[in-house]
Structure 1
Amino acid sequence: MLEIGIVGGSGYGAIELIRLLKQHKEVNIKYVFSHSKSGEDIKETFPHLQDNINVPFSSLDVDKVDCDLIFFATPSNVSKHFIPKLIERGIKVIDLSGDFRLKDPALYEKYYGEKPAEQSILDKANYSLAEWSDINNDSTKIIANPGCFPTATLLSLHPLLKNNLINKESIIIDAKTGISGAGRSLSQNVHYGEANENFSAYKLGTHKHTPEIEQYLSKLSGSDIKVMFTPHLVPMTRGILATIYVDLNEQISEEALHKMYIKTYQNKPFVRIRKIGEFPKTKEVLGSNFCDIGIYVDEERNKAVIVTVIDNLVKGASGQAIQNMNILYGFNEDEGLNLLPVYP
């Protein structure tokens, strides 16, 4: 049985980890760490758990913790202070924050506004989009779990770039997210009176997921890629819908492109390609680890539109983290994640 800990225990990412890991046959939740709530019973913060988990909140002491794997479900600028000592002690880490996603420390400082982790530690981190992961239990010590917007975007664009089908200078990403993507801490833009019946674009040109998307796409294509990425906040609790526009660099029919996506993802259990003419909605993946993709080709203009939905807290965070854990340890990839979406 794999013994695990979760850091950031009072946040949305952690509570999703707990919900999903309680369905997992191969793990035991040994610790739930929360510095601000240390010593409290979890059900005081999350009454819906009641007696489902009997681990109290505690503070993380890297010199005393004893487990196999720790998930960091924290804001950025936290995990990098603990992870070096943990991996030195042989404890593997899956980091849901952004501290280890960017290989260029200057980009981290620019977009996150904080001092980056040491380059020697950054070099040990594996950025792992689960469907295209190269992690393994022998050499992987740190898994940098992708962000929510990048997950939806990269799963959409991977087949196009891998097959060299698009103009690399034409990528436009128009993405919408629910309010839970901002985390559980209070801020003015997610107050009910600010967010309800409202719809807003934010962080144009400065969103921290932009360099993450560009880093992956550039590595995949072998050339420097820049994207136009515009995130929007919509008045719903959870979910992401990304509409991605690209110029095709050769004539290809909608049917042919659709078949290519089906072939690309035929052995990937959490990516579902919709029928031609059918486009996914956020509620159709709610509470699940699925990524649903719909494809449209404007054959007259030689452009493609890819519409993708995920649950930002599951496939965009905790679900993918568990999927990465399953791959790392050789468990069934869908262990703990084989849940139908909640509908309606």
Structure 2
Amino acid sequence: MAADRLRVAVFGASGYVGGELLRLLLGHPQVEIAAATSTRYAGRPVGTVHPNLRGLTGLRFRSPEEMGGFDVVFLAAELQTAIKVGADLAKRNECLIDLSPAYRLRDPAVFERYYGTAHTAPELLGSFVSGHPEDNRAALRTARLVSVPGCMVIATLIALRPFAADDLVDGDVIVDCRIGSSGSGAAAERLNLHAERSGALRVFAPHGHRHEAEVCQASGLAVRMTATGVEAVRGAQVVCHVPLRRPLSEVEIRRLYRDAYADEPFVRVIAQRRGLYRLPEPKILIGSNFCDVGFSVTPDGRRVVAVAALDNLMKGSAGTGVQCLNIRMGWPERLGLAFAGLHPI
């Protein structure tokens, strides 16, 4: 590896998000993957767990106990592990980008309410910059600690941002989320086994989904969120019902979106009247770092149905993590993230 490449480690590299990080970082021209950890698979080649990486690297998983210091560490562990190791990783490394839910919320009481347990490192809450480039680009340029929001949070914030920024929302926003099975992680419980999930439209969070708290915190809006598991592996879609303070026309709403995202490299405003993809769908975004956003407005102009879609493992997680890395290092944001998705698929 070239000596000037950034030395990066992935802590918790055997999960789905960890695998996506490895795939992206292996193709990143400014990065050397110095370590990929897994307690269960320590010593085994990463290609035995992530078969799409076979022949692309000789990297082997190493035990978390073997972790040294690095320029950047991506933390892709489950919640309790991320809380346990977060403080130590933050001290020993130049930059920590956390993709777990461990440090997304700032208020310990809100964390306990939504996660059902007290946070064991509450002093770190509020220390992390939210890894949402569309809102926090300036802060990310100098951040040592970054917490990437949840996939449905990213999609929802992108859908709602133009209305929240202009104080156009009047009352509660209802957000209906749909997500594929990879959103549950690689360690699936029985409810996510194929035999149980196939053919199902499972409303697993009829109210109070934990991402609700993140959206409220970031947007300042009153948001009520439901979440449904759909028969897809990858992809997330949010349908946001937004009551407006004053009537808006379709032209005005389209202008709001285009003004908000004109310079964003990974947000595309969909405004088609014809064709199969008139509103955003995750299917054509698989593997890409794009979030597509579109809308429909009621005839009286008092309610917008805003729709956003993304790949939950990419723009909803690993892709945004790499985008945050690019911002932090002053590199072009598209670096290592140029894949456009596939059609048909």
Q: Same fold (TM over 0.5)?
A: yes
1:25 to 29, 32, 35: 29
2:210 pairs with 1:208: yes
Partner residue, 1:52: 56
Aligned residue type for 1:154:
L
Residues 206 and 297 of structure 1, relative CA distance in 2, 3 Å threshold: closer
Residues 251 and 181 of structure 1, relative CA distance in 2, 3 Å threshold: same
The 5 Å alignment of 1:83-122 reads 83-122=86-125
2:131–2:140: 8 Å Cα contact kept in structure 1? no
1 CA distance for matches of 2:29 and 2:190? 41
Partner SS for 1:205: coil
Partner residue, 2:159: 156
Partner residue, 1:325: 325
Partner SS for 2:215: helix
Partner residue, 1:238: 234
Partner residue, 2:7: 3
1:184 to 177, 186, 191: 186
Partner SS for 1:146: coil
Aligned residue type for 2:55:
D
1:109–1:116: 8 Å Cα contact kept in structure 2? yes
Structure 1 unaligned residues grouped into runs of 5+: 219-224
* 1:252-294 deviation digits (Å, cap 9, x = unpaired): 1111110110111000010000125321221121110100011
Partner residue, 2:20: 16
Displacement after TM superposition at 1:46 (Å): 2.4
Partner SS for 1:306: strand
* 1:64-115 deviation digits (Å, cap 9, x = unpaired): 5121111111111112222222222343111110000000112222222333
* 1:136-182 deviation digits (Å, cap 9, x = unpaired): 454x2210101011011011101111011121x23010110001000
Aligned residue type for 1:2:
L
2:247–2:300: 8 Å Cα contact kept in structure 1? no
Residues 34 and 114 of structure 1, relative CA distance in 2, 3 Å threshold: farther
Partner SS for 2:177: strand
Displacement after TM superposition at 1:301 (Å): 5.3
Aligned residue type for 2:131:
S
1:255–1:276: 8 Å Cα contact kept in structure 2? no
Partner residue, 1:143: 146
Displacement after TM superposition at 1:327 (Å): 0.8
1 CA distance for matches of 2:96 and 2:44? 24
Aligned residue type for 1:181:
G
Partner SS for 2:293: strand
Partner SS for 1:57: coil
2 CA distance for matches of 1:58 and 1:196? 35
Displacement after TM superposition at 1:41 (Å): 1.7
Partner residue, 1:221: none
Partner residue, 2:281: 281
TM-score normalized by the length of structure 1: 0.93
1 CA distance for matches of 2:212 and 2:259? 28
2:10–2:76: 8 Å Cα contact kept in structure 1? yes
2 CA distance for matches of 1:77 and 1:111? 14
2 CA distance for matches of 1:115 and 1:245? 32
1:105–1:119: 8 Å Cα contact kept in structure 2? yes
Partner SS for 2:52: helix
Residues 164 and 35 of structure 1, relative CA distance in 2, 3 Å threshold: same
TM-score normalized by the length of structure 2: 0.93
* 1:225-264 deviation digits (Å, cap 9, x = unpaired): 3222110000110101111111111121111110110111
Structure 2 unaligned residues grouped into runs of 5+: none
1:81 to 81, 84, 89: 84
Number of equivalences: 335
Residue identity (%)? 30
Displacement after TM superposition at 1:117 (Å): 4.4
Would you identify which runs of 4 or more consecutive aligned residues in structure 1 move more than 4 Å? none
2 CA distance for matches of 1:263 and 1:32? 40
